[in-house]
Chain A
Amino acid sequence: MTCVYPQHRLPSWVCIVFVLHAVTTSGAVSEQDVMVNVFQSKCITCHGKHRREAELDLRTRASLLEGGKSGPALVPGDPEASLVYKRIHADEMPPREDIFGDANYVRRVTTPEMEKLRQWIADGAPVAVDAPYESTVSDADRAFWAFQPPRRLPVPQVRDRDRIRTSIDAFLLEKLEAKDLGFSPDQDKLTLMRRAHFNLTGLPPSPEAVAAYRDDHRPRAYERMIDRLLDSPQYGERWGKYWLDAAGYADSHGKIDADRVRPEAWRYRDYVIRSLNQDKPYDRFLTEQIAGDELFDYAAADTITPERYDCLVATGFLRTAADDTDEGALNFVPYRVAVLSEQVAIFSSAVLGLTMDCARCHDHKYDPIEQRDYYRLSAIFQSALDPYDWRVAGRELSAGRKIPIPESFMRYLPHVLDDERVAVETHNADVQRDIDTHSATVTSIAEPLRKTLFAEKLATLPETLRADVKKAIETPAEKRNEIDTYLAEKFGATVAIKDAELAERSTEFKDAARRLAEARQRLKPKPMIQALFDMGGIPTPTYVARRGDPTTPGPRVEPDVPRVLSEGIEPYVVTKPDWSTDTSGRRLALARWLVQPNHPLTARVMMNRLWQHHFGRGLVTTPGNFGETGSRPSHPELLDWLATEFVRQGWRLKAMHRLVMTSTAYRQASRITPAMQRADPDNVLLSRFPMRRLDAEAVRDAMLAVSGRLNMTRGGPADAIDESEQGEVTGRDAPSGLRRSVYLLQRRSKPLTLLELFDAPRMEPNCLQRAHSTVPTQALQLWNSRMTRACADAFATRVLAVAGDAINEQIERVYWTALSRGPTADELRSATETIRALERAWSNRQVEEDADVRRKALAGLCQVVLNSPEFIYID
């Protein structure tokens, strides 16, 4: 604490000077304060970009001066003569209801805000002049390794050249040899096959595939297997999930208890899986996700091709943040800003590998990222995710009642493929015919009934009134005279007839009404894309939010990328496309800037992710933080070599998988020797392949796969989940089996219990690296759950169907199916003994048929194998 001069009224250790609070805020009200807190927050929905009621635009000082129908809105120096002040002060503006007709959550201009407005006008409506500003980011800051373009160094020379299969091996072996270590021997053939299968597809190889591979002694059998796996659609399901983790994907809105489902989110999930399976180059993949809507003139497009559809769906990447703004109480600037900032956090950690979030409130403490950098980057997204020009995430606004949102105010695009659109239209047309039929039936039954009921009710009124009330009710509201209106209001409720009353009188009506309701239920909502798209026009200005608080705007900033990222690459330049889709081009410029071959971070971050999911640990162990507080790469030359090679391979991931998986490093055994424990205890040098537990989805998918319960149908809307009384959340069982975990509804508030126990992440907001816990609750899940029971039973039934009654055969089949190998003689003996004992135990119960006893005993073995460490840990 700086001692200015002593204050005698206070203890001597408090060396402070008091100043009036007002003085520190200098008394003056800034232009941006008024613009943000009054006009942008409360007025411009109706007097701005999209609507210009009374021909008035309240977005800028200039447009205020210009005014509208009633003349200038602002007279500098004279608040009382300024229409904006007068109308707000008289509480005539904003109107009582918002544009959706909601009056519950309309916020008025508060007294302090009004006072600010008054003072600003009284002061002559001064124009904001931002102080000259110089970036503090220096060349020394740019010299940090992660901000320099990747450098491709020559592949090092090593002693044990026999072990070099790919350049990757040379980089790794160099460091190992420096510690007197080498690579471990190759893993045996079938174990390696199992490793590759789980790694690329998240599923075990089928026993048939294992047998075929075991017997394939031709050269390059391993390489062909890798190619097969890369070509299988399950590759995209496995690796797509990693990207979805990074993107923060979920099928629900997020933070509040309602946690509404996002019924259209799956399109983006399928897009990711499809793109990976197509081996879409990463530069294209990123560009579509960041700016797919700016890649073509979608507003003018006559046809939606699959490519165009993908471009729009891809922007779902920027729609993953928790967003509860369709709750009326939360549809305000702070909550909208939270959505934007979460999306910026997801983008910067997943794509840039930088923790930008610190710079939301202040200059980054450790990295050369200024607060201005944050708001520049934020401005790029703000032309679409604009807190002052907002679209809520759902189809209706929940404001005490459900208010449907007009399509033009939804954050959806209707540009789905014709096939889907036509299918839904056809379906709905059929349903509509049913509805019309049922509706006619209902009417025909109801009419006479209504008349009877009406007469009965009318009869309860005094006789003198009856004729007049009848006339009043039968007169349409707009044609009623004063007396009619009075009578209708007074007696309307008495003579009104509810459907329930009709149903009570007539089962015929009741049935017809039920059929009508059922038919209405069958109507499908119009298919829409959960997309991000520019709000068009002149984007709302972005200000630095002091201390991260949007109500205290600081200097204005223009869209740009962090200043420290400039070495060796072209700057960020925005070009507004000249076409009918009104879009700023800000995000397209970001994408173009990102995918420059020399970019310091784009390829490095992605290659680190690829490495991490192959070896369990990234070359940089903090995948979302390549900055000062992140870890330094264990093998910087290798990371750079991979990054440059990735670009040389046309940004194609499959080529890189192939390169990694055909390396000696990847093919090593996983055994740990004392020498390794001494010289490479944490396997930073990759002296062996790390044995790893399956991650959550692979545990579930593998159990379903070996038991034959896995339904391999791909894509489409997410599968339903159920919650048991106990609180266990599971996938909903269907006769066709259960689909892979990636297709289950990922509701933030209801994670699948099995997946959560095995460390499936919660998207808060995204996940770049999963935890790996080992706790008793996992054992309880795998040993006791209905899921395991069902899998063990199905597995046993399946084995019996193939292996018949011979116990040896059964055990062989169980081992080959679940563990991709045959049992040893000891294991066979041990398993046989257990099955025999189990059979005895079950038949002692004397309630079981022989066949049941055999199946139950075998199911016991299956349960054990599904719980065995060898099933869960991959060597």
Chain B
Amino acid sequence: MTRYDKNNEPASTPTRRDFFARMSDGLCGAAIASMLGTDLRAATARQPYDLSPKPTHFAARAKAVIQFFMSGGPSQVDLLDPKPALTKHAGDLPRAFLDNVESVGAAGGLMPSPFTFARRGRSGIWMSDVLPHLAECADELAVIRSMWTTHFNHEPAIFKMHGGRALPGAPTLGAWAVYGLGSENRDLPAYVALDDPARMIIGGVKNWQSGWLPPVYQGTRLRSIGTPIVNLRPSEETPSEVAALSRALLDRMAAEHRAQRPGYPDLDARIASYEMAARMQISATDALDVDRESTVTQEQYGLHDKVTASYARRCLMARRLIERGVRIVQVFMNCPAGNNPWDHHSDLEGGLRQCCAATDRPIAALLKDLKQRGLLDETLVIWGGEFGRLPLSQGGTGRDHGANGFSIWMAGGGVKGGTTYGATDAFGYHAVEDRVSVHDFHATLLHLLGLDHESLVYNHHGLDEKLTGVEPARVVHGILA
């Protein structure tokens, strides 16, 4: 059914050899290769559309990443970066701060934190009392207090934090990581997004997009209530030989369709998506079934407490996915007030209490659980939002966005636990010591995964694009074990 004129290029029927040469670079190819008894790990070249495991640039410290993305901008001076000077100078408004506050009239004075800080763990990391459970894991954490970003509006800053650019359309960290590393697991997506079933997160599916990387690297969104994946099983069971016959015919049709249309990577992705869907029918059911966890574990995560249940479920799922070789799991949260839970323009105290109550216990339980299972050594856990908040008050009870200095934490594979890195000024306004840009952060994450951010490139529009863009980026060695 070749239906093309032959003016430009001969539309020759692909040879058997061509067919296999082309097929071997898709996941479908991976499946065929495995059927032919080829060792998947023998693959070395890093080609587009390829999910087979790839060699790293150097020894990896972590095989997987769990990202707790806290959109909205968690307030550093109320969580991880204590500033006693705020109490002393409460109500004062340092004039110089106004240079970076757009509406001077709306800015209030310095506002002390409503929370009490204390040193936690043997390492004595400072945390506020709104994170009581995380406090028990203090010695696992490396807190970076000197993060800064370029945008103080949510969407651009979120895009920046995920993909290094302030515009939509760039691949996310997860997409880059899977592009660089391939998949450890042929039965589950390499990159999973667990979003809050209550509501789509700000930015929507762009939080896990592959952008201009091929679509096979896109994150797969899994539902955390009901059946994790709708239609995971057929609506009506058919005899297995019937299902096999139908699938065989579909595979033939898809392969032929693909062979006649070179240059459309989407078709590879689609073939791969059917292969994976078939395997997911078995593996995902098991991977996402948190009911299989012991009651003790469920209790530890807070699965039975209304306040923590939703986030706890996603945390447990994250662990089960990581255990099964999923590379990247993004865990999102939401709140009834809107799609931006940590955006506390007003009632900062109440808002932070609510956000922490929902997440603190599940996150701490996950860290402990990973450690107990020996998984924390090879799993990188990262926590943070797209920016932080100003130490000033907004409307008396809130804080406005602050991009000049904010805190995140990392834990697990390759991270030096019990570390506090970098510093903001006396008021937590501006990162002043060992500043870490978003690109630095990304370079560090890739480094821990065994990838060199300068070498992990993808040619797009004739440019060798990188996650870390064109500005110089450094690996933050100070937090590495």
- Name A's B-contacting residues (CB within 8 A): 1-4, 10-11, 13-21, 24-25, 184-186, 188, 191, 255-257, 358, 361-362, 546-547, 549, 551-552, 554, 629, 669-677, 681-682, 691, 693, 725-728, 749, 753, 759, 762, 764, 771-781, 783-786, 789, 821, 824, 827, 830-831, 834, 837-838, 841-842, 844-845, 860-861, 863-865, 867-870, 872-873, 875
Contacts and interface: CB of A to CB of B under 8 A. Distances in A.
Interface in B102-117: 102-109
Contacts of B230: 726-728, 753, 777, 780-781, 785
B338 A255 contact: yes
B1 A827 contact: yes
Nearest to B260: A671
A676 B267 CA distance: 18
B430 A361 contact: no
Interface in B178-237: 189, 198-200, 204-206, 209, 215-216, 218, 220-221, 223, 225-227, 229-236
For the side of the interface on B, what is the size category? Answer: 35 or more
B227 A726 contact: yes
B160 to A, nearest CB: 14
Nearest to B461: A682
Given A188-B3, A629-B167, A691-B264, A726 B226 contact: yes
Given A547-B106, A672-B263, A784-B235, A185 B5 contact: yes
Contacts of A11: 425-426
A772 B270 CA distance: 12
Nearest to B235: A786
Nearest to A687: B8
Contacts of A873: 257, 266-267
Contacts of A672: 261-264
Contact of A361 (B9, B102, B262): B102
B270 A671 contact: no
Interface in B60-117: 85, 89, 91-100, 102-109
14 contacts: A13-B425, A25-B105, A358-B153, A547-B103, A671-B9, A671-B11, A775-B215, A777-B231, A789-B235, A834-B249, A838-B245, A841-B239, A860-B245, A869-B257
A778 B105 contact: no
A725 B249 contact: no
A546 B103 contact: yes
Contact of A669 (B5, B273, B278): B5
A776 B280 contact: yes
A-B pairs, 8 with minimum CB distance:
A672-B263, A727-B226, A547-B103, A779-B277, A185-B5, A16-B94, A673-B9, A21-B109
Contacts of A15: 96
A868 B253 contact: yes
A727 B246 contact: no
Nearest to A189: B3
A868 B257 CA distance: 9
A16 B257 CA distance: 68
Given A257-B336, A776-B189, A779-B273, A869 B267 contact: yes
B200 A762 contact: yes
B6 to A, nearest CB: 8
Nearest to A778: B273
Nearest to A857: B242
Contacts, number: 252
B273 A774 contact: yes
Contacts of B205: 759, 771, 773
Contact of A675 (B9, B153, B261, B426): B9
Given A16-B95, A784-B235, A869-B253, 5 more contacts: A185-B7, A677-B263, A776-B274, A780-B277, A834-B249
Contacts of B239: 841-842, 844-845
Contacts of A863: 246
A748 to B, nearest CB: 10
B471 interface: no
A785 B395 CA distance: 51
B103 A552 contact: yes
B426 A727 contact: no
A30 B7 CA distance: 75
Contacts of B258: 869
Contact of A1 (B96, B250, B277): B96
Interface in B1-28: 1, 3-5, 7-9, 11
Nearest to B92: A18
A589 B324 CA distance: 62
Nearest to B5: A185
B480 interface: no
A759 B266 CA distance: 15
Given A13-B432, A672-B263, A868 B250 contact: yes
B224 to A, nearest CB: 10
A780 B231 contact: yes
B103 A773 contact: no
B269 interface: yes
Given A15-B96, A629-B167, A834 B9 contact: no
B8 A675 contact: yes
B231 A16 contact: no
A779 B253 contact: no
Contacts of A728: 230-231
Q: Which of A257, A776, A781 has the most CB of B within 10 A?
A: A776
Contact of B8 (A549, A673, A844): A673
A780 B103 contact: no
B96 A16 contact: yes
Nearest to B240: A841
Contacts of B100: 1
Contact of A21 (B91, B96, B430): B91
A682 B460 CA distance: 9
B276 interface: yes
B122 interface: no
B39 interface: no
Nearest to A671: B4
Nearest to A693: B266
A102 B196 CA distance: 34
